[in-house]
Structure 1
Amino acid sequence: MDIQPKLHIAMFPWLAYGHTAPFLELSKFLAQMGHRVSYISTPKNITRLLKFPSESSPNLFFVELPLPHVQGLPPGIESTADLPIQKVPYLKKAYDKLQGPLAEFLKTSSVDWIIHDFIPYWIPPLAAQLSINSTCFIIVGASSVAFFGPPDKLIAGERQRPEDFTVVPEWIDYPSNVAFKQHEMANHQKCEDRDNPDFFRWGSAIQGCQVVTLRSCPELEPEPLNLLSKILQKPVVPVGLLPPPVPSPDGVDDGDETWVALKKWMDGKKLKSVFFVALGTEVTLSSELSRELASGIEKSGLPFLWVVKNHPFIEGEMSQDILLPGFEERVSDRGLVFRGWAPQMKILAHPSIGGFLTHCGWSSTIEALSLGLPLILFSGASADMGLIARLLHEKRVGLEIERNEVDGSFTSDTVAKVIRVVMVEKEGEPIRANAWAMKEICGNIELGKKHLTQFSRYLENYKSITQSNKWS
């Protein structure tokens, strides 16, 4: 006899890899817990996710909704990773047009819960109309959510200027230095849909849903989590950090020529001697800043592996080589520059890697800390990456590269100094020790399962709107 699924749960992430991937990890777990899960996204995003190995489940289904066209969005683009930041507003407008197709799916699919991102602020009223429970899954940590504050203040737009976000807000009731730099907020405003700004979307999505879910845990962020239920005025349920499984450093995938080549290079380096450099799928630096970063990496004198993305757009033009002339030749004895996609978690898990120069995306930092790696914090200057940089610097698991508050500039000497402190200098020993100790939280698979199981049970026991006989 077939066992009927406990619940039918729809998942609807924003069209960015930093969102689609954690939504997928949560989907896989819920499917393993016996729920029917419909993961809804656009065709190219689903195809991209399915390229990566994942645990299959008979309860996990992928639902493709073609992305409507809007003027200003280049044809065939379905992800922020393929756009310059100033084109992202058009992607948001196209995404909003999925409301109709999504509603048709929900009407005909006996969904009990929809777990949605904050960008589709229109989901909670739609879900309520269809007697479906909704929870906004925020894929960042509690400290960032606490900084943004009460939904009504976000909807009202009480903070407008970039400098309004450079101070710790008055509702933070615990010691904290987590705030934005002016250049980070100025940069983020480039991706705003002026008709529906991100803070309006964020506030509306949180205010309208019944439960807020976020990628955090009380072991890492106890004070922010305690505060959140007060300022959001609704249940806040953490799902844990969703750490990825640690790959075997000795494993070689058949046919994965990229990994074979990278592993061979790393195998020739000493234990924990190499720092890994990766700035995510969306961060785009000017040629000037990229060369300053390269100069600092060179001046550090330490072995490194730098993955440089092949980004198709910089200010609307095809990207060009942004490294210093002759850079690769000068560092060829100790450094490797790799262009294109590379298996980040496999690289981080290799024994030769001793530190991570990161853009401070939440997923990347969790991956590194799950392995106990200290962080060289270089804020990507978009989304909440600046807040994450301050948080991790505050926790002393990494050291932030200082940048000019207004224009985000920095010097190569500063870059080199921070790299050396984090990697080899005596001054950095506490940072390396703190990062290693963080494995017990960020890399604790059993702790992660505990929080995920509690979340699954919360959904099962929630009675507000769920219809009791949908599967009868």
Structure 2
Amino acid sequence: MMCALADLHNPIVHWFRNHPSPPSAIVSDMFVGWTHHLARHLGIRRYAFFPSGAFAISFIYSLWREMPQRENYGDDNEMVGFPRVPSSPFYPWWQLSPVFRSYVKGDPNSEFIRDSFLANGSSYGLVFNSFGGLEGAYLEYLKKELGNDRVWSIGPVLPSDDVGPNERGRSSSTSISEILSWLDTCQDHSVVYVCFGSQAVLTNKQMKELALGLEQSGVKFILAVKGATKGHVEEDYGSIPLGFEDRVAGRGLVIKGWAPQVLILRHRAVCAFLTHCGWNSTLESIVAGTPMLAWPMSADQFINASLLVDQLDVAIRVCEGAETVLDSNDLAQHLAKITSEKWTKRRARAVALGKAAMDAITEGGSSFNELGDIVMHLSEKCTT
């Protein structure tokens, strides 16, 4: 997809050259880094927007710049790290970006993708869906590495509270009113919300152990289930164990399809979020002041989990990997911790971080001001 989108280069140049009032800048996603070269060709500025966090991008940028290689080619657990990045994170090879791991030196597509990621760092400015109170050290690191201060954090950028499945383009087995009515019957901080985002689909083995762990734990929960989609074998993915919903009736609510995640996380009854640690889910949980049970599966999720667990202590790590099966007994033990004093302290840290997030996007806050600064830059009629 990244390579295919580059075919838009010439049509965009043609449109630009024939437009009576062409743009003075390009703001584009991190996966179309080639638009940096397009902007230079057109004599305008390019701003790279990152839906991922600054910590993750600091690491990913270092990957493509330094191109580390395994000493033992067959060892997927060989550790890779970059001491210059704050906190000096190290990860096993199998947890690195799959796009990076698939790189083949000299292959035209691989070289194009590497150049695109490096071009992000060469762009006029970098814009992050994050905020200083969350990732200040990494925002400053990127400024130092890139040699300029044109690194802005404008987040958290969140969906509206009242956005429903029709607006999001997905169906749901349960209405928003039913979900909120059920939550209203629950005590404060008594419900665990379980959801793995819009992309991940659990195998039936994973689903079986997850359901059994929830059942054994005795906690109240909401489980959002994504069924098998194109590319998944329906018999092997996304199936809820037979009889599970009946056995947990009243204590557990199963949502098939889209779930109003923002509303759920912000409800007083929710005390924890079992999540894949995608950046959008991470920010939504932080804003809600809800601590997390981390099960990173791919891409930047392992790095996000490190931030949440090892640095901020607003989460605990319960599992890792898209194919790993979380044992039901282990899950039940993890869920038992959400009533502990440590979890109460973890929730207090999450609430404080949520307040910092809202302060950042409130008038006069850091993200509010940085967004204003970007607008000033974009309004300038100037070239690269």
The normalised TM-score by structure 1 is 0.68
Q: Does structure 1 conserve the Cα–Cα contact (< 8 Å) formed by 2:24 and 2:382?
A: no
Per-residue CA shift, 1:352-391, capped at 9, x if unaligned? Answer: 2222111101111111111111111111x22201100111
Q: Which residue of 1 aligns with 2:253?
A: 336
Q: Distance in 2 between matches of 1:164 and 1:139?
A: 28
More displaced 10-residue stretch of structure 1: 307-316 or 128-137: 307-316
Q: What SS does the corresponding residue of 2:133 show, helix, strand or coil?
A: coil
Report the CA distance between 1:408 and its aligned residue: 3.6
Q: Which residue of 1 aligns with 2:309?
A: 393
Report the CA distance between 1:403 and its aligned residue: 3.8
Q: Distance in 2 between matches of 1:462 and 1:231?
A: 27
Q: Which residue of 2 aligns with 1:227?
A: 141
Question: 2:268 is aligned with what amino acid?
Answer: P
Q: Distance in 2 between matches of 1:357 and 1:433?
A: 18
Q: What SS does the corresponding residue of 2:91 show, helix, strand or coil?
A: coil
Per-residue CA shift, 1:164-188, capped at 9, x if unaligned? Answer: 884431222x435x44344433866
Q: Does 1:457 align with 2:376?
A: yes
CA gap of 1:294–1:192, structure 2 versus 1, over 3 A, is farther
Report the CA distance between 1:143 and its aligned residue: 1.2
Q: Which residue of 2 aligns with 1:433?
A: 348
Report the CA distance between 1:335 and its aligned residue: 0.5
Q: Does 1:141 align with 2:56?
A: no
CA gap of 1:224–1:374, structure 2 versus 1, over 3 A, is same
Q: Does 1:365 align with 2:282?
A: yes
Q: Which residue of 2 aligns with 1:215?
A: 129
Report the CA distance between 1:269 and its aligned residue: 1.6
Q: Does 1:412 align with 2:331?
A: no
Q: What SS does the corresponding residue of 1:438 show, helix, strand or coil?
A: helix
Per-residue CA shift, 1:387-423, capped at 9, x if unaligned? Answer: 001110021111111448x9744322222222232x2
CA gap of 1:105–1:265, structure 2 versus 1, over 3 A, is farther
Q: Does 1:290 align with 2:202?
A: no
Per-residue CA shift, 1:59-102, capped at 9, x if unaligned? Answer: xxxxxxxxxxxxxxxxxxxxxxxxxxxxxxxx444433333443
Q: Distance in 2 between matches of 1:97 and 1:450?
A: 36
Q: Distance in 2 between matches of 1:199 and 1:294?
A: 40
Which of 184, 187, 195 is 1:270 aligned to?
Answer: 187
Q: Distance in 1 between matches of 2:325 and 2:97?
A: 14
Higher relative helix content: 2
Report the CA distance between 1:236 and its aligned residue: 3.8
1:16-415 aligned within 5 A: 91-107=1-17, 108=19, 110-150=22-62, 154=64, 157-159=67-69, 163=76, 166-172=79-85, 174-176=86-88, 178-185=89-96, 195-196=109-110, 200-244=114-158, 247=161, 258-315=175-232, 320-379=237-296, 381-394=297-310, 395-403=312-320, 408-415=324-331
CA gap of 1:159–1:426, structure 2 versus 1, over 3 A, is same
Q: Distance in 2 between matches of 1:258 and 1:171?
A: 48
Q: Distance in 2 between matches of 1:382 and 1:148?
A: 13
CA gap of 1:231–1:208, structure 2 versus 1, over 3 A, is closer
Q: Distance in 1 between matches of 2:343 and 2:183?
A: 23
Instruction: Please tell me the root mean square deviation across aligned C-alpha atoms, in Å.
Output: 3.2
CA gap of 1:402–1:320, structure 2 versus 1, over 3 A, is closer
Question: 2:33 is aligned with what amino acid?
Answer: Y
More displaced 10-residue stretch of structure 1: 196-205 or 101-110: 196-205
Question: 2:376 is aligned with what amino acid?
Answer: R
CA gap of 1:286–1:320, structure 2 versus 1, over 3 A, is closer
Per-residue CA shift, 1:245-283, capped at 9, x if unaligned? Answer: 7738xxxx9xx9721222222222222211111111111
Report the CA distance between 1:221 and its aligned residue: 1.8
Q: Distance in 2 between matches of 1:436 and 1:198?
A: 42
Q: Distance in 2 between matches of 1:300 and 1:387?
A: 28
CA gap of 1:403–1:210, structure 2 versus 1, over 3 A, is closer
Q: What SS does the corresponding residue of 1:350 show, helix, strand or coil?
A: coil
Q: Distance in 2 between matches of 1:272 and 1:134?
A: 45
Q: Distance in 2 between matches of 1:216 and 1:165?
A: 30
Question: 1:95 is aligned with what amino acid?
Answer: L
Report the CA distance between 1:141 and its aligned residue: 1.5
Report the CA distance between 1:122 and its aligned residue: 1.8
Report the CA distance between 1:112 and its aligned residue: 0.9
Report the CA distance between 1:334 and its aligned residue: 0.5
The normalised TM-score by structure 2 is 0.82
CA gap of 1:364–1:268, structure 2 versus 1, over 3 A, is same
Q: % of aligned pairs identical?
A: 25
Q: Does structure 2 conserve the Cα–Cα contact (< 8 Å) formed by 1:206 and 1:232?
A: no
Q: Distance in 2 between matches of 1:188 and 1:385?
A: 14
